[in-house]
């Protein structure tokens, strides 16, 4: 196993030990010179002294050599930004392949045979350093599998592929690309190369001069089945729409200079991990739709998660910054999320925004105004508290959830059709502000009692196939409440409470 620590080396340790070694050598030389006239007993004593000094000096020499190797390793791995960027980390220790020699001395990749191995090496590595400062890679290749130990060995799991080796590959020749220039900058318009691991140059040159790359144009790599990994260089500001759509791309390094990712830029690729730099201020419609992403951290400062941005992935974790005010249509639909923390400034949850996940609980922020159609449909939510800032609970908003507790505050006026379809509610209380309950709002639920604190809602559907309160609820209202009739109202049995 190769263990490489990138923390700074103490510059005073080697000179101090070199001085000690020098003094030891001088002392041994002096003793040997004087030993020429010694008796047998004195000579034996001299041999013992030399053995003791050797035991001190040789390990010191080995330590110096080891530190020299360590320094070489640190120098060799001085640029690991791309690996760190992909995983958004400042972790500093990289562990790979073959086992350490029994001496425990640090080794450098150039002098150690590194073979592919299993996550077991990751467990072994945990004893060598702080587990939160390590990676383990299964081989020194352009695209190894990356592992990271957690708090226990059971957390030692793959995080996904890296785009480049720790010693990044050289950029492709510019002849591998088609490109144009305008206003002193270059734009990549296509890829004609055969390399699967693509490193895009940061500058393109022709007879007229050199042009820094600023843009990856629309559809420039779309449908390319050759590419597997891509490193986009610093200086690029925009990735155009459909730029890498429907490719076999499994890994991409996005530069810190990037400000915008246009619609469907990576749609239908095979990305399992992506690190979006905080420099990005907008991500357009469907940019990462239909990939294999399992976790994503959105850039700080983002205000809108556009429609379908992460639809159809494998997300189990998402980090949404507090600056986000709107989550668009189907933005996170059809994923594997079990929970999500919504930002306090969120005002709009658009249609199907978290439809068909595995979310078990949700806290809707105060200030939310739009809870649109099927926002949380087909999840596992058991408790719903509607904030007072919401006036309309959209149709299908919580349909097909095992809701057992529902709080509807004053201020809510409308419960949309099928909003709580297939819930496990046995009772619900409607504030006097509710004036409309849509058809089949509680269809296929276990609702037994519906309590109304005000008059009868103006919009309501008769009990039956499309009844607003399902098939078995009793309508309970205050004495003197207007609009209700006895013994039934719209086919539902009524009672005063």
Residue among 84, 60, 76, 70 nearest 11 (CA) = 70
Q: What DSSP string describes 48-72?
A: HHHHHHHHHHHHHHHHHHHHHHHHH
Q: Mind listing the pLDDT tens digit for each residue in 370-405? A: 999 999 999 999 999 999 999 999 999 999 999 999
For position 30, what pLDDT does the model report?
Answer: 58
Average pLDDT of the residues in 462-473: 92
- Checking DSSP bridges between strand 436-437 and strand 414-415, what pairing results, if any? parallel
pLDDT band at 7 (very low <50, low <70, confident <90, very high): very low
For position 35, what pLDDT does the model report?
Answer: 54
Average pLDDT of the residues in 267-274: 95
For position 431, what pLDDT does the model report?
Answer: 98
Of the ranges 92-106, 147-161, 365-379, the best mean pLDDT one? 365-379
Other CB atoms within a 10 A radius of the CB of residue 274 amount to 22
As beta bridge partners, residue 301 has none
pLDDT band at 465 (very low <50, low <70, confident <90, very high): confident
Average pLDDT of the residues in 162-166: 32
pLDDT band at 163 (very low <50, low <70, confident <90, very high): very low
Among 64-68, 76-80, 339-343, 362-366, name the one with the lowest average pLDDT: 76-80
For position 444, what pLDDT does the model report?
Answer: 94
For position 472, what pLDDT does the model report?
Answer: 86
Q: Half-sphere exposure of 118 toward its Cβ, with a 13 Å CA cutoff?
A: 1
Among 20-34, 140-154, 358-372, name the one with the lowest average pLDDT: 140-154
For position 305, what pLDDT does the model report?
Answer: 98
pLDDT band at 2 (very low <50, low <70, confident <90, very high): very low
| Average pLDDT value over all residues in the chain | 78
Q: Mind listing the pLDDT tens digit for each residue in 17-73? A: 444 455 555 555 555 555 555 666 666 776 677 666 565 544 443 333 333 333 333
Q: Is the pLDDT of residue 299 over 90?
A: yes
Q: Is the pLDDT of residue 140 over 60?
A: no
Q: Is the pLDDT of residue 435 over 60?
A: yes
For position 27, what pLDDT does the model report?
Answer: 57
Average pLDDT of the residues in 413-436: 98
For position 43, what pLDDT does the model report?
Answer: 64
State the Cα torsion 82-88-94-96 to the nearest 10°: -80
Given a contact cutoff of 8 angstroms between Cβ atoms, the answer to whether 399 and 422 are in contact is yes
Given a contact cutoff of 8 angstroms between Cβ atoms, the answer to whether 486 and 464 are in contact is no
Q: Which two tokens stand for residue 435?
A: 């004036």
For position 170, what pLDDT does the model report?
Answer: 77
Angle between helices 13-34 and 40-76 (to 10 degrees): 160
Q: Is the pLDDT of residue 351 over 60?
A: yes
Distance CA 456, CA 250 (A): 57
Q: Which two tokens stand for residue 134?
A: 């390590």
As beta bridge partners, residue 482 has none
Distance CA 152, CA 163 (A): 27
Q: What is the largest CA-CA distance in the chain?
A: 127
Average pLDDT of the residues in 417-439: 98
Other CB atoms within a 10 A radius of the CB of residue 94 amount to 24
- Length of the chain in terms of residues written: 497
Average pLDDT of the residues in 180-187: 96
Distance CA 408, CA 385 (A): 7
Q: Half-sphere exposure of 83 toward its Cβ, with a 13 Å CA cutoff?
A: 30
Q: Is the pLDDT of residue 76 over 80?
A: no
For position 264, what pLDDT does the model report?
Answer: 98
The CA-based angle 268-273-279, given to 5 degrees, is: 95
The phi, psi pair for 211, rounded to 5°, reads -130, 115
Average pLDDT of the residues in 350-363: 98
Distance CA 53, CA 181 (A): 70
Q: What percent of the chain has pLDDT over 90?
A: 63
Residue among 176, 141, 166, 155 nearest 3 (CA) = 166
Average pLDDT of the residues in 208-212: 94
For position 23, what pLDDT does the model report?
Answer: 53
Average pLDDT of the residues in 286-308: 97
Q: Is the pLDDT of residue 4 over 70?
A: no
Q: Half-sphere exposure of 423 toward its Cβ, with a 13 Å CA cutoff?
A: 30
pLDDT band at 433 (very low <50, low <70, confident <90, very high): very high
For position 266, what pLDDT does the model report?
Answer: 99
264: buried, middle or exposed (CB in 10 Å: 19+, 13-18, 0-12)?
buried
Q: Is the pLDDT of residue 86 over 60?
A: no
The rounded Cα 299 to chain-centroid distance in angstroms is 11
């Amino acid at each position: 196993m190769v263990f490489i620590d990138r923390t700074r080396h103490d510059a005073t340790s080697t000179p101090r030990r070199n001085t000690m070694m020098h003094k030891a050598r001088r002392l041994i030389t002096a003793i040997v010179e004087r030993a020429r006239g010694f008796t047998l007993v004195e000579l034996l004593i001299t041999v013992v002294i030399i053995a003791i000094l050797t035991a001190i000096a040789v390990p010191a020499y080995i330590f110096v050599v080891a530190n020299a190797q360590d320094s070489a390793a640190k120098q060799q791995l001085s640029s690991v930004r791309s690996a760190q960027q992909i995983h958004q980390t400042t972790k500093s220790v990289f562990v790979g392949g073959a086992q350490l020699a029994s001496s425990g001395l640090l080794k450098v990749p150039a002098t150690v045979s590194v073979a592919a191995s299993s996550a077991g090496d990751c467990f072994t590595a945990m004893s060598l350093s702080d587990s939160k400062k390590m990676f383990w890679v299964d081989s020194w290749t352009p695209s190894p599998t990356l592992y990271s130990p957690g708090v226990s060995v059971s957390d030692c799991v793959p995080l996904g592929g890296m785009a480049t080796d720790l010693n990044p590959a050289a950029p492709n020749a510019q002849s591998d690309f088609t490109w144009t220039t305008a206003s002193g900058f270059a734009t990549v318009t296509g890829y004609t190369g055969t390399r699967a691991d693509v490193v895009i140059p940061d500058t393109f040159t022709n007879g007229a001069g050199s042009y820094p790359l600023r843009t990856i144009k629309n559809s420039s790599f779309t449908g390319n089945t050759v590419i597997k990994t891509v490193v986009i260089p610093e200086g690029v500001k925009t990735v155009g729409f459909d730029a890498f759509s429907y490719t076999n791309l499994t890994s991409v390094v996005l530069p810190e200079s990037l400000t915008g990712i246009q619609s469907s830029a990576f749609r239908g690729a095979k990305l399992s991990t992506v690190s979006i730099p905080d420099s990005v201020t907008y991500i357009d419609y469907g940019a990462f739709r239909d990939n294999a992403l399992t976790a994503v951290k959105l850039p700080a400062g983002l205000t809108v998660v556009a429609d379908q941005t992460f639809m159809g992935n494998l997300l189990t974790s998402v980090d949404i910054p507090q600056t986000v005010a709107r989550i668009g249509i189907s933005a996170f639909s059809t994923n594997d999320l079990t929970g999500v923390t919504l930002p306090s400034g969120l005002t709009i949850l658009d249609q199907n925004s978290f439809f068909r996940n595995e979310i078990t609980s949700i806290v809707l922020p105060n200030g939310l105004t739009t809870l649109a159609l099927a926002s949380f449909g087909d999840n596992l939510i058991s408790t719903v508290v509607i904030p007072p800032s919401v006036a309309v609970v959209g149709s299908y908003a919580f349909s097909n959830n095992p809701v057992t507790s529902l709080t509807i505050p004053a201020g809510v006026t409308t419960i949309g059709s099928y909003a709580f379809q297939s819930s496990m509610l046995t009772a619900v209380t409607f504030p006097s502000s509710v004036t409309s309950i849509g058809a089949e709002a509680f269809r296929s639920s276990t609702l037994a009692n519906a309590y109304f604190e005000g008059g009868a809602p103006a919009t309501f559907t008769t009990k039956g196939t499309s009844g607003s309160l399902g098939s078995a609820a009793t309508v309970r209202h205050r004495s003197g409440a207007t609009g209700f009739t006895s013994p039934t109202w719209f086919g539902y049995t009524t009672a005063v409470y």
